[in-house]
Structure 1
Amino acid sequence: MLKIQNLTKQFGSLVAVNNLNLSVAKGETVVIMGPSGCGKSTTIRMINRLIEPDRGSVFVDGVDITGLDANTLRNMRKRIGYVFQHFNLINRLSAIENVMLGLVMGGQSKEAAYDKALAALAKVGMEQFKEHKPGQLSGGQQQRVGIARALAFEPELMLWDEPTASLDPMLVREVLVVMEELAKYRAATMLVVTHEIAFALHVADRIVLMEEGGIVESGIPSQVFVNPVSSVGCQYKELIEYQLNTSARTLAGQHVA
């Protein structure tokens, strides 16, 4: 479904992504993790050329996106859903109008676009808020509208660029639940950049760890987080153990009290 070959991006003297290679099978959910600044978001943005790569190729179903002209790229992007860190909703439009906009601009009738937008909002549990404007919605609800906007195109590939990064911790869970449901039904291949360890453990078919612009480890969650071979993997293992021990101590203290 997705094949990345020798992908490279440099900003001045900083090599953000260095000769990266990655393949994702149809229906697979792959989670990319790693420390801030390791190149995760740059990598995912290059897949649909929100950032232009310096070198390398990105194949979606055998088509190299890096070689497409503007019009062909625009059509290819309709097959690739993208959920941003920030919601990027238009404040003057209602939720359903935000979801419809790309469909209408792509040539669909308003009636067909409305039906698809409503179905997409239903998938993320937001159909009852279809007439609300972004200012009337919580951060989690706005991000769910952003997810519906991507789903409305019925994409074959979904790209998630730290979709919970801009949310208050109390709102993160509602977005993760939507993502888990989508991953469970495998309606699209999913590539997710996130720091959410619990989500990765629960949903990912494969974890990819990055450091300094390259992949340092890849495998199923139980392998990467239980028997890591990279320094980044070891750090995640220690963090998981710390969180488990902290939770155990807290529960023990409540029991004693």
Structure 2
Amino acid sequence: MLTINNLHKRFGKVTAVADVSLDVKKGETVVLMGPSGCGKSTTIRTVNRLVEPDGGRIFFAGRDITAIAPEEMRAVRKRIGFVFQQFNLISRLTAEENVMLGLVMDGMPRELAGEKAMAALAKVGLESCRGQKPGELSGGQQQRVGIARALAFEPELMLWDEPTASLDPILVREVLVVMEELAKYNANTMVVVTHELPFALHVADRIVLMDKGRVVEEGVPDKVFVTPASEVGQRYKELIEYQMNTSALTLAGKRVA
């Protein structure tokens, strides 16, 4: 489905991505994790060329997308859904109108675009909010509209760039539940950049750890987080153990009380 070979990207004197290679199979959920600034977001943004790579090759569905013209790339982007950190919704439009806008601009008849928009809103549990504008929705609901907007094109690949980063912690779960359902029950092919450890542990088929622009470790969650081979993996293992110990102590304290 997706193959990245020896990807490089620099911003001025800063190397953001250095010799990254990655394979993603159809139906697989791959989670990219690592310290802030390690190159995760830059890596997935090169996949649909929101960021132009400086070197390397990217193959999507067998086609080298680093070698195609911009007008061809616009057609490829319709097959690759992208969910951003920010919601990027148009405030004067309803949820349904936000979802169908791209379809209509692409030349789809409004009636058909409306049907696809409603089907996408149903997938994220927001069909009842079709007539509400972004200002009338919670942050979690707005992000779910953003997800529906990406799903409306029925993409073959979904890219997620820290989709819960802009949300209040109490709203994070509703977005993660949607992502989990898409991964487990709809067999979407997904590459997810996130710091959400529970999601990665529960949903990822494979974890890819990055540090300083490079892939330092990859494997199934049980391997990466239980017997890590990298310093970054070891730090995640310690974080998981700390969280588990804290939860156990909290539960014990409640029993004593």
TM-superposed CA distance for 1:186, in Å, is 4.0
TM-superposed CA distance for 1:246, in Å, is 0.4
Query: Could you tell me whether the CA contact under 8 Å between 2:28 and 2:187 is conserved in 1?
Result: no
Paired with 1:11 and 1:68, the residues of 2 have a C-alpha distance of 22
Query: Could you tell me whether the CA contact under 8 Å between 1:156 and 1:187 is conserved in 2?
Result: no
TM-superposed CA distance for 1:70, in Å, is 1.6
Query: Could you tell me whether the CA contact under 8 Å between 1:28 and 1:186 is conserved in 2?
Result: no
Give the SS at the match of 1:26: coil
TM-superposed CA distance for 1:97, in Å, is 0.4
TM-superposed CA distance for 1:239, in Å, is 0.1
The reply on whether 1:172 has 2:172 as its aligned counterpart is: yes
Instruction: Within 5 Å, give how 1:177-192 maps onto structure 2.
Output: 177-192=177-192
TM-superposed CA distance for 1:187, in Å, is 3.6
Gapped regions of structure 1 (runs ≥ 5): none
AA of the residue aligned to 1:188: N
Match of 1:84? 84
AA of the residue aligned to 2:224: V
TM-superposed CA distance for 1:188, in Å, is 2.1
TM-superposed CA distance for 1:115, in Å, is 0.1
Give the SS at the match of 2:158: strand
Match of 1:125? 125
TM-superposed CA distance for 1:185, in Å, is 2.0
TM-superposed CA distance for 1:107, in Å, is 1.1
TM-superposed CA distance for 1:65, in Å, is 1.1
AA of the residue aligned to 1:58: I
The reply on whether 1:220 has 2:220 as its aligned counterpart is: yes
Match of 1:200? 200
Give the SS at the match of 1:43: helix
Paired with 2:192 and 2:106, the residues of 1 have a C-alpha distance of 26
The reply on whether 1:97 has 2:92 as its aligned counterpart is: no
TM-superposed CA distance for 1:100, in Å, is 0.3
Match of 1:17? 17
Paired with 1:184 and 1:208, the residues of 2 have a C-alpha distance of 19
Query: Could you tell me whether the CA contact under 8 Å between 1:180 and 1:203 is conserved in 2?
Result: yes
Paired with 1:62 and 1:188, the residues of 2 have a C-alpha distance of 18
Give the TM-score normalised by the residue count of structure 1: 0.99
Paired with 1:187 and 1:109, the residues of 2 have a C-alpha distance of 28
Paired with 2:197 and 2:133, the residues of 1 have a C-alpha distance of 32
| Deviations 1:14-52 (CA, angstroms, capped at 9, x unpaired) | 100001100000000000000000000000111000011
Give the SS at the match of 2:50: coil
Question: Hey, which bits of structure 1, 4+ residues long, moved more than 6 A?
Answer: none
Gapped regions of structure 2 (runs ≥ 5): none
Give the TM-score normalised by the residue count of structure 2: 0.99
AA of the residue aligned to 2:99: V
Paired with 1:41 and 1:170, the residues of 2 have a C-alpha distance of 24
Paired with 2:206 and 2:186, the residues of 1 have a C-alpha distance of 14
Paired with 1:219 and 1:187, the residues of 2 have a C-alpha distance of 20
Query: Could you tell me whether the CA contact under 8 Å between 1:99 and 1:152 is conserved in 2?
Result: yes
Paired with 1:103 and 1:56, the residues of 2 have a C-alpha distance of 32
Match of 1:111? 111
| Deviations 1:113-142 (CA, angstroms, capped at 9, x unpaired) | 000000000000000000100000000000
Instruction: Within 5 Å, give how 1:17-36 maps onto structure 2.
Output: 17-36=17-36
**Paired residues, number:** 257
The reply on whether 1:247 has 2:247 as its aligned counterpart is: yes
Q: CA RMSD in A?
A: 0.6
Identity %: 71
AA of the residue aligned to 1:82: F
| Deviations 1:60-117 (CA, angstroms, capped at 9, x unpaired) | 0111111111211011000000000000001111000000011011110000000000
Give the SS at the match of 1:155: coil
Give the SS at the match of 2:103: helix
TM-superposed CA distance for 1:54, in Å, is 0.6
